[in-house]
Chain A
Amino acid sequence: MKNKKKGHNIKDITRGDAVVQNLSPSKVLLSHLICGIGLASSFWLAINIYSINLIDNPASTLRLIWLIEVPVVVLLYSLFRKDMNQSSYLKAVARGLLGLPVGAVVHALGAIVLGAPVGTQYFLRTLNWSLLMSTFTFVPAASVYGSSWVDWHRIFAQTKPIGSIDYMICLPAHGAVIGGWFGAWPMPLDWERTWQEWPICVTYGAIIGYLVGMLASFCSAVFRVSSQHVKGD
């Protein structure tokens, strides 16, 4: 009975904010493109300006990537904050920044349970990796939803996104986590490549998953618009 009631509540809320929730596919594409360009430019900076790369200097490259990606994501997603009327843009930015360390702790713990190596030489790598993962998952959600437990629960536990902003957060985040999970698989192989070390291939997997998630979110936005057109006709 309790369950049903809550489900009902969620529906009400979403119906109320339906206008805010849905973005046009071009906007979705634009924001995803900005995120993607942020990632690409951080890689470009790392290789061409700082002459470091993920394989030889994982910790410092990861740090560079999240340092660039965090402002992009926070500033972008704060635009789509859910409680537009109650909280200001700055508050949403602050929420996003607060979400960064919290998400990092969750990701680091998860990685350690799954078997990430522990030790002082891995500390910086794990720290920077989990901050990057947090940028992909927790930071946008924190910016948009704030401390709304109901929304968090809907997106991450139940995976029931409604509206394009939900999709924009939910799909890339799940993509990054699933991609990271698959990225761990080559690690035990005896190919003796440097990229098999923690967390290099996991990062690659997560980034690929993130990109695929963004693509999927864009596709879903396009699909939703077209289906609405069909309905309208």
Chain B
Amino acid sequence: MAVTEWWKNTSCGGRRSAFMVFFLVLLLHCIAILLFTSGFLLTRTELPHHSQCSDVSQSPCGLPDRSPQGDHDGVTCWTKPAVDRLVIIVLDALRFDFVAPSTFFEEKKPWMDKLQVLHKFASESESAARIFKAIADPPTTSLQRLKGLTTGGLPTFIDIGNSFGAPAIVEDNLIHQLVQNGKRVVMMGDDTWTQLFPHHFNKSYPYPSFNVKDLDTVDNGCISHLIPTLYDDDWDVLIAHFLGVDHAGHIFGVDSVQMIEKLQQYNEQLEKVVEVLQSQAGRGSLHENTLLLVMGDHGQTINGDHGGGSAEEVDTSIFAMSLRKPSITVPPEFDASSCKLDLDGREVCISSIEQLDFAATVSALLGIPFPYGSIGRVNPMLYALVAGTWNLEDYDMSSSQSQLKLEEWMHNYAKVLCINSWQVKKYIDVYTASSVIGFSVDDLKHVADMYAQAVNWSDSLHDVASCKDEACRTSFDALKKQIDLYSNFLASVAELARTKFTEFNLRMMGIGFGILLISIFIHVLVIKRVDDITVFPSRETSSVSFGLIVSCTIVTARACSFLSNSYILEEGKMTNFLLASIGMLGLRHSIMTKKMIFEATAFVFLISILRFTIELGLSKPQEVLDFHSWMYVADLMPIVPLIILACLLYKSIACSSCNRLLKFVITGSIFSYILLALHWTLESNLSSMTPLIFDGIKGNFIPRAIYIMGIAQLLSLAVLQFFEEVEISKWGEMAVMKAVAILSVWSSTLMILSGKQGPWIALASVVGGWLISRLKGLEQDNKNATTGLLALYSSPVTQWSLLASCLFFCSGHWCAFDGLRYAAAFVGFDEFTIIPQAILLTIETYGFSHILPTLGLPILVAYKYSSNEAKQTRQSLIQLFQVYLIYGLIMAVTTTFTVLCVIIQKRHLMVWGLFAPKFVFDVVGLILTDALICVSSVFYFIQT
């Protein structure tokens, strides 16, 4: 009842009612987006449990065999250790075709066949070495991959967000298990490892990975420590992480001289490493039972990018080499490898492994407990390569004996898989019990059935395998069946986890989307209602105009274009295309009425300038020309628009008779501009000519002064708001002055953050805003007061919002995390502290496209406000209310379509690379706009 009462009686221009409506919209959007995000950006619940050695007694697989050699400490943990020491060399962004011989590919490219040493050992029949194609799970960024490799689990989107300040891994992981079980770990190279595992390494030689342009620091550090460490005996596991290939890819691309040089350097180093290991591989020597793994954490595209899920980024490689000689050949059933001759006529075989399986396989080989959350399977080929070397001396190489050994190995492998399956099953059970969103009952039952089948089979097998004479050895097929059953179970769990951990909560997403739709419905309803009360019932009016139809078409077209990845990629050009279309229609309209042709032409001209700026902004910045005189000009050019802006501000205070405090605030902004010009002069090449007095204020002083001034100005505006009562008749002029004041306050901060392009873009937005306000008059005069507000304002507001998003792209942004200008966060600050930097980055990103346009909207309504009657003021307050409603609706509609797009494309290849960042940008933009509209409703509206 109260709502309907309010609905009937409210005067829409009042401050309270306006604020109420906008706050309701903000609230609805927040709820909708929160719900949607919680369903979309799912995180896997991390369990705090850790695997213990003693857990294995609960497994149905029986206690592990005692080690046959007495020299071990007698008790093995989960599995029988197959290697004593492990050398892991991680080559960041190692593409699969860096490692595999070029004959595996259709065409030989210059970067192939550079790691010859790997081919050599993989092809030698007497060495136990093999190349694996390792398939990573996206997202393929180093941090996520290291996490995935060590925990044996699957990463999710939230991790990427966290990678800003790489947090330590709290989940159970391989490194933790190593330390827990008394293995000593040495690390060298990429310092991400020390961030992930701060207290785990016995010794570490970390090097900063931050500087992408530096190809050699990390690698040289690794190289200088790697070989000497190999001679030491105070470690069990050595990790060396090289970064050169990754950085070379980022800077120069894969097909470059630098990349090939890097690969050749690695080839040399790997040769040395193998040489050292082989020289000490004799019985009783240091590396008698050492395994060497050379692996990539992820691949990269030809351009050197990675992060997504394309085959080039996901496919990487593992080269494994045991220093013992192999004794068995794995039956072809388990061996899914393909063999080809390389260019030198050597036969190289390549198997395949999932990176998910890495943690489980390495744990099994070292005999430590598997990480608690691992869902990988012990890989048969990698396990056979090393574990097949047991008891080598006890057997002859006769065929019957080798058959016997094969069965022995299969028996072992079945047992390892039994423990593996038991551990995975346990994890799945505990995860379901403790996580909010677990697995569905059907899936769980299916998996449990498979597990029960495998275990039952193994019980029947135990009786057969327990007899030791020759007759019982016919269990080959039975063993094979056993291994298959376990493998199938593990494969289905991995598949289930892959869908579930990257699965979306459709119900939450649906509810969120529904609320978003409801909010749009309310929005439209309010707009309709406001439209109705302003139309005089006596006169026949058309509430639909050509402008309204065009605006609806343009907004819908723009919104629908977000359903396709191509249009999102080209969003800048798209927006400009639509803005140009609407601008040209405006030009046609002005020719039709023969009024304001100059303004309309200027607007089209401005759009074409913006168009070229967007194209320049999208390409990477070019080197500055080396002419001396030209450089001075380029340095001082931004000061020209700055002076123009300052003049405009001065003019605006000179010819108005408003509050003194407002004038004071605007004068403050002019002073900020002067500081800004001084700052840029000091930073430029001219600084050598400036007097020494200014040296004291170089660097961070001026930016900070501008920030402080901005805050002070905002505070004084807020104070003004509380103590000043505006006369109703003077509202129009007051609103314009207030808008100018608040825009000028934001602009100085924004310009120093945006750098030298800032004044130009600010000038463009001022000119654009002025032209739109002028062109609005075209429609207004033409239609008189007979059309509804909606029909009158839809076209200018659409232009306003399109211009705003064009400015977003003009200022060199795009909707991706690499489109953020991180440098802006450090203007005036040298060190990283999260809150001020995040605020600065937000202001820089959304300043020209969201903050200024939203706060500046009253200019559109109150421009050229002449009448001083109170009744007119009431009318224009309602107009302002309507304008904010339309603006908010346009933002909400586009965001809703982005959300819809994310729902539709959630299985798309680029969902994490393209749609999710776009979603985040749009959602933050929408909330920011809503909040700013709320603030504006308090700031501009008066109680009528």
Contact = CB atoms under 8 A, between A and B. Distances in A.
Contact of B565 (A118, A153, A157, A190): A190
Nearest to A160: B592
Contacts of A188: 566-567, 569-570, 573-574
A188 B612 CA distance: 17
A154 B901 CA distance: 43
B49 to A, nearest CB: 45
Nearest to A110: B584
B564 A189 contact: yes
Contacts of A189: 564, 566-567
Contacts of A118: 612
Contacts of A3: 593
B584 A153 contact: no
Interface string B563-601: 011110110011011001101100011011100000000
A112 B608 contact: yes
A41 B183 CA distance: 83
Contacts of B577: 114-115, 184
Contacts of B604: 113
Nearest to A191: B566
Interface centre among A113, A153, A157, A190 (most CB of B within 10 A): A113
B611 interface: yes
Interface of B, helix, strand, loop or mixed by DSSP: helix
Contact of A190 (B566, B581, B592, B608): B566
B611 A157 contact: no
Contacts of B226: none
B13 to A, nearest CB: 32
Nearest to B570: A188
A184 B592 CA distance: 26
B592 A113 contact: no
Nearest to B609: A113
A72 B659 CA distance: 69
B580 A113 contact: yes
By size class, the interface of chain B is 20 to 34
B607 interface: yes
A181 interface: yes
A114 B592 CA distance: 21
A217 to B, nearest CB: 20
Given A158-B592, A184-B577, A113 B608 contact: yes
B607 A113 contact: yes
Nearest to B571: A188
A118 B615 CA distance: 11
Contacts of B584: 110, 113-114
Contacts of B574: 188
A180 to B, nearest CB: 11
B592 A153 contact: yes
A142 B888 CA distance: 45
Contacts of A158: 592
A186 to B, nearest CB: 9
A115 B608 CA distance: 8
B601 to A, nearest CB: 11
Contacts of B608: 112-113
Nearest to B592: A157
A113 B591 contact: no
Nearest to B557: A185
Contacts of B566: 188-190
Contacts of A156: 588
Contacts of B588: 156-157
A115 B591 contact: no
Given A113-B580, A188-B569, A188-B570, A157 B591 contact: yes
Nearest to A154: B592
Contacts of B611: 112-113, 115
Contact of B591 (A110, A153, A181, A190): A153
B794 to A, nearest CB: 20
A115 B576 contact: yes
Nearest to B593: A3
A110 B580 CA distance: 9
A115 B592 contact: no
Interface in B520-564: 564
A71 B117 CA distance: 72
A112 B566 CA distance: 21
Interface in A172-203: 181, 184, 188-190
Interface string A107-127: 000101111001000000000
Contacts of A153: 591-592
A158 B782 CA distance: 14
A30 B580 CA distance: 37
Contacts of A184: 577
Interface centre among A3, A118, A157 (most CB of B within 10 A): A157
A153 B591 CA distance: 8
A114 B565 contact: no
Interface in A181-233: 181, 184, 188-190
Interface string A140-180: 00000000000001001110000000000000000000000
A139 B689 CA distance: 61
Interface string B605-647: 0011001100000000000000000000000000000000000
Given A157-B588, A158-B592, A115 B565 contact: no
A61 to B, nearest CB: 25
A53 to B, nearest CB: 25
A115 B580 contact: yes
A114 B567 contact: no
Interface string A1-16: 0010000000000000
Nearest to A2: B594
B813 to A, nearest CB: 18
A110 B601 CA distance: 11
A115 B573 contact: yes
Given A113-B607, A188-B566, 14 more contacts: A110-B584, A112-B611, A114-B580, A114-B584, A115-B573, A115-B580, A115-B611, A157-B589, A157-B592, A184-B577, A188-B569, A189-B564, A189-B566, A190-B565
Please list the 8 inter-chain residue pairs (A to B) with the smallest Cβ-Cβ separation, ordered nearest first. A188-B570, A157-B592, A113-B608, A189-B566, A190-B566, A157-B591, A114-B580, A113-B580
21 contacts: A3-B593, A113-B580, A113-B583, A113-B604, A113-B607, A113-B611, A114-B584, A115-B577, A153-B592, A156-B588, A157-B588, A157-B589, A157-B592, A181-B581, A188-B569, A188-B573, A188-B574, A189-B564, A189-B566, A190-B566, A190-B569
